[in-house]
């Protein structure tokens, strides 16, 4: 098979001879920008998911600061190279739609629409930067990224479990909240949304390690902590998303199985992780059984029930029925929904608990077409070249990012994780890794296990 050419598109090439610097300076700036981006999305969940105005405003400032650094790096090297993602087009059109709603007076809540535009611009900048910074990232960067996410998921999961067993609905053991808190999040579903993005990357990193690596088993068992924390959070959407991710990963591993030994090791690894998680749940049965009972109970929970979510989604679609073409304005759901709510409740409904229905009500057919277009582009690229990806560490990480995106897209049918700034930032970074061009896996054509499979030494 012929090697697939890189899809990098050079949209601009600017020669600035007067500003040329040493070749090392731009590389250093790009490295600082890349790790600045990673540090930002690692820190964002710790600030209650960055839901407070100061937190998401800080994300906006940092995003443009990193964009400025990236621009300086391009100026110093004298060449501006932009790596294209097919999702740039629907994203730009969606932004144009929301801006048109605001300036044309088509929104029923101008203040909320303006705030939503700022938040959307923030995640777009993260999306663009991640696509550019990871497009030609050195191989070592992918390994550090995978290891960093694995350790971060372990540490955050351990913190959440300790907090769960030692406090009564307190965040950091001191901050009170009226919601069902878990970890650093006010809402346990949003914690689960973060974990269902981190766990697949950690799992993919473990699978990318050589079989003779002594740390592989240790890292595999470290996955038990974030998985257990997600189950303890009691999020039904998180549980379903993780189950779908696990089944999808199992399907991918089954397809790549090249021999009995490979399949046997992967099966033993999966069984070991499962046994360790079951052992953890056995150690504290009473509290955990109650949490799992809450997870399975669709009618009587301490939060919004399944029936209420269903009714809210139907009522939200009634908003779409009355404002079919351009919607009520991005971010206007909180203002409009009380007029359409048909069920009694003492809970506040700032979101529909269904990101798709809410997007339709706020942006109408125009926004719905763009969302469908973006989803088609995503799934078209999500699982392409699977065999080729498995030959490099970057390819495995990209597969993990794909599974994380799929998990959050499933969870969005029953929650509003995409409206949580920290989770939205993580999602677009993983989306950029999944759909971007020029990634390391597409340039690395040597099989990872050439020594074990000498017949596969030809470039594919």
Domain ranges of the chain: 86-456
Q: What is the C-alpha separation between 4 and 457, in angstroms, rounded?
A: 17
At 23, is the secondary structure helix, strand, or coil? coil
Q: Please tell me the predicted confidence (pLDDT) of residue 368.
A: 96
Q: Are 303 and 180 in contact (CB under 8 A)?
A: yes
* Mean pLDDT score, 416-428: 96
Report phi then psi at 300, rounded to 5: -125, 95
* Mean pLDDT score, 407-419: 94
368-to-60, 258, 336, 355, 358 alpha-carbon distances in Å = 26, 42, 19, 11, 10
Give the confidence band of 83 by pLDDT, cuts at 50, 70, 90: confident
Q: Please tell me the predicted confidence (pLDDT) of residue 321.
A: 94
Spatial CA neighbour of 130 closest among 416, 433, 399, 339: 433
444 has pLDDT over 70: no
pLDDT digits over 168-178, tens only?
889 999 998 87
pLDDT digits over 298-348, tens only?
444 456 777 788 888 999 999 999 999 999 999 999 999 999 988 877 777
Q: Please tell me the predicted confidence (pLDDT) of residue 440.
A: 52
Q: What is the C-alpha separation between 441 and 449, in angstroms, rounded?
A: 14
* Mean pLDDT score, 356-379: 95
pLDDT digits over 273-311, tens only?
555 554 555 555 555 555 555 555 544 445 677 778 888
* Mean pLDDT score, 19-27: 56
DSSP string, 368-418: HHHHHHHHHHHHHHHTTTHHHHTTSHHHHHHHHHHHHHHHHHHHTTS--GG
* Mean pLDDT score, 83-88: 90
**Residue found under tokens 């029930």:** 305
At 171, is the secondary structure helix, strand, or coil? strand
> 175-176 and 170-171: which strand pairing?
antiparallel
Q: Please tell me the predicted confidence (pLDDT) of residue 335.
A: 93
105 has pLDDT over 50: yes
Give the confidence band of 453 by pLDDT, cuts at 50, 70, 90: very low
Who wins on pLDDT, 275 or 364?
364
Q: Please tell me the predicted confidence (pLDDT) of residue 10.
A: 44
Q: Please tell me the predicted confidence (pLDDT) of residue 388.
A: 73
Q: Please tell me the predicted confidence (pLDDT) of residue 329.
A: 95
8-to-17, 83, 180 alpha-carbon distances in Å = 24, 5, 45
Q: Please tell me the predicted confidence (pLDDT) of residue 24.
A: 62
Who wins on pLDDT, 387 or 359?
359
pLDDT digits over 150-165, tens only?
999 999 999 999 999 9
Q: Please tell me the predicted confidence (pLDDT) of residue 269.
A: 58
The whole-angstrom distance between residue 204's C-alpha and the CA centroid of its chain comes to: 14
Spatial CA neighbour of 136 closest among 83, 66, 84: 83
21 has pLDDT over 50: no
Give the confidence band of 454 by pLDDT, cuts at 50, 70, 90: very low
257 has pLDDT over 70: no
Q: Please tell me the predicted confidence (pLDDT) of residue 186.
A: 92
Q: Mean of the per-residue pLDDT values for the chain?
A: 82
**Least confident stretch, 134-138, 161-165, 257-261, 351-355:** 257-261
Q: Please tell me the predicted confidence (pLDDT) of residue 16.
A: 41
Spatial CA neighbour of 351 closest among 414, 405, 408: 414
271 has pLDDT over 70: no
Read off the pTM.
0.85
Who wins on pLDDT, 121 or 74?
121
22 has pLDDT over 60: no
**Residue found under tokens 């955990």:** 288
Q: Any bridge partners for residue 182, and if so which?
A: 185
Q: Please tell me the predicted confidence (pLDDT) of residue 68.
A: 95
Q: Please tell me the predicted confidence (pLDDT) of residue 218.
A: 86
Give the confidence band of 450 by pLDDT, cuts at 50, 70, 90: very low
């Amino acid at each position: 098979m012929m090697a697939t050419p890189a899809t990098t598109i050079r949209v601009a090439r600017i020669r600035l001879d007067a500003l040329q610097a040493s070749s090392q300076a731009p590389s250093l700036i790009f490295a600082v920008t890349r790790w600045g981006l990673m540090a930002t999305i690692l820190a964002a969940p710790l600030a209650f998911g960055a839901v407070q105005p100061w937190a998401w405003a800080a994300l906006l400032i940092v995003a443009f600061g990193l964009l400025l650094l990236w621009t300086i790096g391009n100026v110093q090297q004298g060449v501006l190279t932009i790596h294209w993602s097919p999702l740039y087009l629907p994203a730009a059109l969606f932004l144009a739609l929301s801006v048109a709603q605001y300036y044309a007076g088509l929104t029923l809540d101008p203040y909320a629409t303006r705030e939503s535009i700022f938040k959307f611009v923030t995640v777009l900048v993260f999306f663009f930067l991640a696509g550019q910074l990871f497009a030609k990232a050195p191989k070592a960067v992918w390994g550090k990224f995978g290891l960093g996410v694995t350790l971060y998921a372990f540490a955050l999961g351990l913190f959440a479990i300790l907090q769960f067993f030692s406090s009564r609905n307190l965040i950091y053991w001191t901050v009170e909240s009226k919601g069902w808190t878990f970890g650093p999040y006010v809402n346990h579903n949003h914690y689960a949304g973060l974990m269902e993005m981190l766990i697949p990357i950690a799992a993919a990193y473990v699978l990318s390690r050589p079989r003779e690596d002594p740390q592989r088993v240790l890292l595999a068992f470290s996955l038990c902590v974030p998985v257990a924390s997600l189950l303890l959070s009691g999020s039904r959407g998180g549980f379903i998303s993780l189950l779908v991710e696990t089944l999808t990963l199992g399907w991918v591993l089954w397809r790549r199985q090249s021999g009995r030994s490979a399949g046997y090791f992967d099966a033993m690894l999966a069984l070991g992780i499962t046994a360790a998680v079951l052992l953890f749940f056995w150690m504290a049965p009473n509290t955990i059984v109650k949490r799992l009972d809450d997870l399975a109970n669709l009618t009587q929970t301490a939060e919004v029930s399944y029936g209420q979510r269903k009714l809210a989604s139907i009522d939200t679609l009634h908003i779409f029925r009355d404002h079919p073409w351009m919607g009520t304005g991005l971010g206007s759901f909180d203002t409009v929904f009380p007029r359409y709510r048909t069920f009694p409740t003492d809970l506040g409904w700032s979101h529909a608990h269904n990101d798709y229905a809410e997007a339709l009500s706020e942006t109408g057919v125009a926004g719905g077409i763009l969302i469908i277009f973006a989803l088609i582009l995503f799934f078209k690229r999500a699982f392409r070249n699977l065999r080729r990806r498995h030959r490099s560490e970057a390819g495995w990480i990209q597969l993990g990012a794909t599974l994380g995106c799929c998990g959050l897209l499933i969870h969005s049918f029953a929650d509003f994780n995409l409206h949580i700034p920290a989770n939205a930032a993580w999602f677009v970074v993983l989306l950029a890794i999944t759909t971007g061009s020029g990634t390391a896996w597409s340039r690395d054509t040597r099989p990872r296990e050439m020594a074990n499979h000498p017949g596969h030494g030809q470039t594919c």
